[in-house]
Amino acid sequence: MKKDLRIMETKGQKENKAEIYKGIVLVAFLAIILFFIYYFHLRLGTHFFTHFLYIPIILASFWWRRKGLFLTYFTAASYIFIHYFLAQIPYDKNALFEDFGRVPMYFIVSLIVIRLSERMQEEIKQRVDKEEQYQAVIKTSRDGFCLLDEQGKFLDVNDAFCCLSGYEHDELLSMGIKDLKDKKIIPEDRRAIRKIIRDGYGRLQAILRSKDSRIVPVEVIVNSLKTKGKVHYFAFVFDITERKNMEEALVRSNNFNKMLLDSLPFMLDIVDEEGNLLYINHVLENIFGKEVLGKKCWEIYNDDKKQCSVCPLKHNLEIGKTKIIEAGMILGNKTFEVFHVGIIYNEKKAVLKVFIDITAQKKAQEVLARSKEWLQEAVNLKVAELKESEKKLNDAKRLSDIGTLSATIAHELRNPLGVIKNVAYLINKKNKDPAIEKHIIVIEKEIMESDQIIENLLTYSRISEPKYEKIFCLDIFSESFSGLRHKYADWDVRLETNTNCGSKDFIMADRIQMQMLYSNIIDNAYQALVDKRGTITIIEDYDNKENRFSVTFKDTGVGMDESDMDRVFTPFFSKKARGTGLGLALCKQIVELHSGTISIKSKKNEGTEVLINLPIYTQI
Amino acid sequence: MQKTAELVITKKILLVDDDQYVVQTLKQILNKFGGYQVNTASDGKQALQEVERCSPDLIILDLNLPKLSGEEVCKEIKRNEKNKNIPIIMLTGKVREVDRIVGRVIGGDYYLTKPCDIPELLKIVQNVLAVKN
């Protein structure tokens, strides 16, 4: 403000001086002209110099405008005074008109000049006002402004630029743009500068270094101005620190978002409301590449290329709402949990989808379910085994009880049997009647049979761990059959033996138990035959490599019903009219004690086949 | 004289069994068809007394006896110097192999199981007595 005042002052002073000079010039002009008029009028009688009076009138009117009229009045008055009072010119009609006609002419000229001058002044004033307005605008502008000459020296700067740079107004005027530039100029700036020099205008971003070494990023708009053959540049300088900061923040935030998206290990995409892919993250990009953008998402992911039945896109998904669906058969029969989130993407409604692979989880569940089933099965199996064992235990206990019981019974029965036998003998000796003798024989035979039953019962209850010894295979049959030979001597039976055993082939087994085994099965075979006739085949197969000795007993007897098959090895099961039902049970026990297997096949009215497998060497 | 001679020849058999029918029938058989003099006892103690009293040529012994078991009776007889040469036929309902072996070990000369074959028994008795002479 102070500065302005000072400028105003000097301006006023200058004007005053000019006014004085103008006054002097006019007074001088007037004096000279009036003198000439007076002189030549009086002496020569010529009016020529009165024309010169126009000069001060015009000047005064031009310079002072309305005030200049006073000079016109004065001049006119002076003219009249000179004419009538000094020159005393006689009245001449023409001359009068000519002389007095000049006075209005003065006024007319004066007024015209005043008018012109005023108009000029107005124009000048308008121009000055405009300039001042502009200057005021520039001065008060928040953006920096500077005027540079061709060398880059500051010709003028505004306050905002001063603030920006930190220098005083006067300091700046002695400096160049180069003094403010930061040393690191980015290459684009050079290009921009070259363009400005070439085209005369341009825009560039630069970094200013202020007086206090502040770094100020600025954007500069430059325009050139050609005046008097010189090129001046005027530039508007905008402080873009905030913008830069914001941009950086935006970039950082974008980077963070991108990093966040790219670091997410699961698949992520954005689709529009029709399901067209707008964005895919790096996981999906690695799988499909960028070219899938714009295609329908289900055409890319789904194995069957069809939209999921539960697709949330089918129902308008609200922005900010999340819907989770489970989609199977995706990317090669995988199962995903897909989060659908309604969002705004590129100013449009879109759906962000996040895929979480739950295939493993699903599989684990299945495996778990299967394990459960398996476990259940195993438990069931074990329960069955347990039941089986329990049954066996019960059987064993029962057998053990039977054993004790039968030992007692057998013993108790033997005495009476002995007595009966004795009596029968006595009767027979005394008897002479052949009919009675026949009956006695029957008695004796029955006694023998009873004795056999008792024997079986005792044997069964008494059977124990085998006493292993070397037994030649060929001996087993002959030894076993010797006891039966008499019993079935009068039967019409073809007994065939078919063996591959050599004379030195042997098995490790209990001799007595082996005999029991053979004789029991052969005895059964005989018993099964109809009308005491038929064929019994014994096939022995000795396999040293497999450590197996198998024997098959076949008969052409009555066979048995299917329903009885699974009970044949049960103790006390018998279909015979007279049988303890212990024969096969005993066989089974013997075979099992020898770690072997026994099985039976039978067809009603065709015959029965008993297959025994025994190990040659038993691991003891 | 003749009669005395006959009497001397007549062998004495001690039949021990707790079953009276066995005793009755066997006594009859041995007497009638073997011509032996048969003394009887129905328990172990009585058997030992009989042995002392009549010193039989042969003892047919059941093993299941009240008061004193057949095995004990057998051992007792065999321990006695005077009686240890009396042959013993064991006639029993025990048919197990182990019983058979035990019978032999404690001094039984024969081991027969009930119901026994009468002709076989008579034959054995005859043989045993013959050997003894």
ipTM (interface pTM) = 0.76
Quote the pLDDT of residue A448: 84
Distance from CA of A446 to the nearest CA of B (A): 12
Quote the pLDDT of residue A552: 92
Considering chain A, what is the average pLDDT of its residues?
A: 81
Reduce the DSSP state of residue A507 to 3 states and report it: strand
Report whether pLDDT(B83) > 70.
yes
- The model's confidence at residue A399, banded by pLDDT at 50, 70 and 90, is low
The strand order across the sheet containing A230-239 reads: A154-157, A144-148, A230-239, A215-227, A201-209
Does the beta-carbon distance from B28 to A462 stay under 8 Å?
no
Report whether pLDDT(A615) > 80.
yes
Distance from CA of A404 to the nearest CA of B (A): 13
- The model's confidence at residue A505, banded by pLDDT at 50, 70 and 90, is confident
Report whether pLDDT(A605) > 60.
yes
Quote the pLDDT of residue A241: 82
Distance from CA of A512 to the nearest CA of B (A): 11
- The model's confidence at residue A184, banded by pLDDT at 50, 70 and 90, is low
Quote the pLDDT of residue A183: 60
State the average pLDDT over residues A215-225.
Answer: 82
Quote the pLDDT of residue B1: 39
Task: Give contacts of B116 with chain A, Cβ < 8 Å.
Answer: 418, 421
Quote the pLDDT of residue A98: 64
Does the beta-carbon distance from A429 to B22 stay under 8 Å?
no
- The model's confidence at residue A611, banded by pLDDT at 50, 70 and 90, is very high
Report whether pLDDT(A186) > 70.
no
Does the beta-carbon distance from A458 to B95 stay under 8 Å?
yes
Quote the pLDDT of residue B6: 46
Distance from CA of B109 to the nearest CA of A (A): 20
Nearest to B93 by CA among A416, A494, A220: A416
- Out of A418, A447, A455, the one facing B22 most closely (by C-beta) is A418
State the average pLDDT over residues A577-599.
Answer: 81
- The model's confidence at residue A312, banded by pLDDT at 50, 70 and 90, is confident
* Pairs of residues, one from chain A and one from chain B, whose beta carbons lie less than 8 Å apart: 58
- Which chain A residue has the Cα nearest residue B29? A426
- Residue-by-residue DSSP string for A526-554: HHHSBTTEEEEEEEEEEETTTTEEEEEEE
CA A310 to chain centre: 19
Does the beta-carbon distance from B93 to A412 stay under 8 Å?
yes
Pairwise pLDDT comparison (A343 vs A570), residue with the higher score: A343
Nearest to A22 by CA among A50, A53, A51, A56: A56
What is the percentage of chain B residues whose pLDDT exceeds 70? 92
Report whether pLDDT(A324) > 60.
yes
Query: pLDDT tens for residues A469-483?
Result: 888 888 888 888 887
Distance from CA of B13 to the nearest CA of A (A): 17
Task: Give contacts of B29 with chain A, Cβ < 8 Å.
Answer: 422, 425-426
CB atoms within 10 A of CB A359: 15
Does the beta-carbon distance from A419 to B94 stay under 8 Å?
no
Quote the pLDDT of residue A6: 52
- Which chain B residue has the Cα nearest residue A460? B96
Quote the pLDDT of residue A9: 56
Residues 401-460 of A with CB under 8 A from B: 410-412, 414-423, 425-426, 429, 447, 451, 455, 458
- Out of B21, B96, B114, the one facing A414 most closely (by C-beta) is B114
- The model's confidence at residue A206, banded by pLDDT at 50, 70 and 90, is confident
Pairwise pLDDT comparison (A427 vs B132), residue with the higher score: A427
- pTM to 2 decimal places: 0.39
- Out of B94, B96, B115, the one facing A418 most closely (by C-beta) is B115
Contacts 24+ apart (CB under 8 A), A147-152: A147/A232, A147/A233, A147/A234, A147/A235, A148/A177, A148/A232, A148/A233, A148/A234, A148/A235, A149/A230, A149/A231, A149/A232, A149/A233, A150/A230, A150/A231, A150/A232, A150/A233, A151/A176, A152/A176, A152/A177, A152/A178
Does the beta-carbon distance from B115 to A451 stay under 8 Å?
yes
Pairwise pLDDT comparison (A565 vs A390), residue with the higher score: A390
Distance from CA of B96 to the nearest CA of A (A): 9
State the average pLDDT over residues A447-451.
Answer: 83
Pairwise pLDDT comparison (B55 vs A98), residue with the higher score: B55
Pairwise pLDDT comparison (A460 vs A596), residue with the higher score: A596
A190 vs A185: CA distance, rounded Å: 8
Which of A408, A412, A413, A414 to mutate to probe the B interface, most B CBs <10 Å? A414
Give bridge partners of residue A222 from the DSSP assignment. A202, A235
Task: Give contacts of B114 with chain A, Cβ < 8 Å.
Answer: 414-415, 417-418
State the average pLDDT over residues A285-312.
Answer: 83
Query: pLDDT tens for residues A274-284?
Result: 888 888 888 88
| Helix axes of B44-54 and B70-79: crossing angle, nearest 10 degrees | 30
- The model's confidence at residue A421, banded by pLDDT at 50, 70 and 90, is confident
What is the percentage of chain B residues whose pLDDT exceeds 90? 10
Report whether pLDDT(A306) > 50.
yes
Q: At B13, which helix (H) or strand (E)? A: strand B12-16
State the average pLDDT over residues A361-376.
Answer: 88
Report whether pLDDT(A317) > 50.
yes
State the average pLDDT over residues A447-465.
Answer: 76
Does the beta-carbon distance from A422 to B95 stay under 8 Å?
no
- The model's confidence at residue A1, banded by pLDDT at 50, 70 and 90, is very low
Residue with tokens 């008897």: A431
- Out of A421, A426, A429, the one facing B115 most closely (by C-beta) is A421
- Which chain A residue has the Cα nearest residue B19? A415
Quote the pLDDT of residue A88: 58
Pairwise pLDDT comparison (A385 vs A305), residue with the higher score: A385
Query: pLDDT tens for residues B1-51?
Result: 344 444 456 888 999 998 888 888 889 888 888 888 899 998 889 998 989
Task: Give contacts of A447 with chain B, Cβ < 8 Å.
Answer: 115
- The model's confidence at residue A123, banded by pLDDT at 50, 70 and 90, is very high
- As a whole number of Å, the end-to-end CA separation of chain B is 22
Report whether pLDDT(A337) > 60.
yes
